[in-house]
Amino acid sequence: MKQTWRWFGPHDLVSIDDICQAGAHGVVSALHHIPSDVVWTPDEIAKRHSEIATMKDGSASGLTWDVVESLPVSESIKRQVGPWRDHIDAYKQSLRNLADSGISIVCYNFMPILDWTRTHLNWRLSNGATCMRFDLVDFVAFDLCILGRAGAENDYPAEIIAEAKTRFNAMSEDRRAELERTVAFGLPGSVENLTLDDLRALLQTYADIDADTLRANLVAFLEEVVPVAREVGIRMCCHPDDPPFGLLGLPRVMSTEADYAFVMQAVDIPENGITLCSGSLGVHPGNDLPGMMKRWGSRVHFIHLRNTKREGQNLPCSFYEAEHLDGDTDMVSLIEQILREEALRKSAGRPDWNIPIRPDHGQDILDDLNRKGQPGYPAIGRLKGLAELRGVMTALSARFDRLGG
């Protein structure tokens, strides 16, 4: 398993030097400053490669840009409106330019409007650490009382609505403003963070788009771009919905193993693959992550290892970002299945046998609490997670070696 680290670029408070010291072998990055309908030019791509390859003192970092996360899909493509065909052409050219630079894995998602959604970016745990959290009651309070979405009351049980209204009435103005900013946070590191008016307007554009329509649009997108990816040697991998249930009346089409099975079979080309995010998929109680890796491992091109803890078995539900080895996903069993898949690939002579993984998210601990870095991406919290995951990998790898795989 190739250990990688997400980096948001030169403004990230976690530096390339920090990543080297964490012992990561590669970097996951993107050109977040470029809008989703614009081609990533060779010059911009080369600049990011150079930034990753260089430490603060100008010496070589030894790190390479291994995975693009994400090459964003525009809302026009998702809805198939306006200049969506031009946007697909731009996407194809970006893939060609990335391939020319040596990139072979591109992660993307097909979530309408918002990327991951949370209600707290620094929820305090009993040990003093903080983490990201999705509180269903707070989210309903946002939907009903801040956003004021038409028809929202039809989407939630009466008892949740009553609790949300009571909680909202007790909220300070500061907490209301924080909740608004947090839910509308948009894409991490992106130029496309949203205001409430932006969000209301975008929601209207999805009024007539249901899950079947969005799924069909995803398949149409893949039918266009995956052949180009195959031609230039890029493996594409779709990130799951986060969280894996409907929000704000928007359709979700990549929340379960069945969703992935449909898309993999609809565009049955090896380069059409999966970003297996154990945190996002793990919130859904019906998702068996080790089993999914066993059944679909040949199409898994990139892996996010993180853990979440549900606070209920029904969906939607509240959950928080747990420690990497302490949550609802059996991380040891999942890593065991990843290692088995790598062994199968290696014996088959697949050049992509060493699957890139990264420690996703992390709790803010120690000096992270003062650094105030990118939400979900603390330096020390992720380092702790990577160390724990590395220990599991090392122990299981040794056992595999003794037993001959």
Give the residue numbers marked as catalytic.
239, 277, 304, 360-361, 377
- Angle between helix axes 257-266 and 211-232 (nearest 10 degrees) is 50
Say if strands 319-322 and 130-134 run parallel, antiparallel, or are unpaired: antiparallel
**Computed over its alpha carbons, how large is the radius of gyration of the chain?**
21
CB atoms within 10 A of CB 279: 27
Burial class (CB in 10 A: 0-12, 13-18, 19+), 391: exposed
Do the beta carbons of residue 382 and residue 362 sit within 8 Å?
Answer: yes
* CA distance linking residue 204 with residue 248, whole number of Å: 11
- The CA–CA distances, whole Å, from 279 to 138, 372, 374 equal 21, 22, 18
| Nearest alpha carbon to residue 244 among 152, 353, 110 | 110
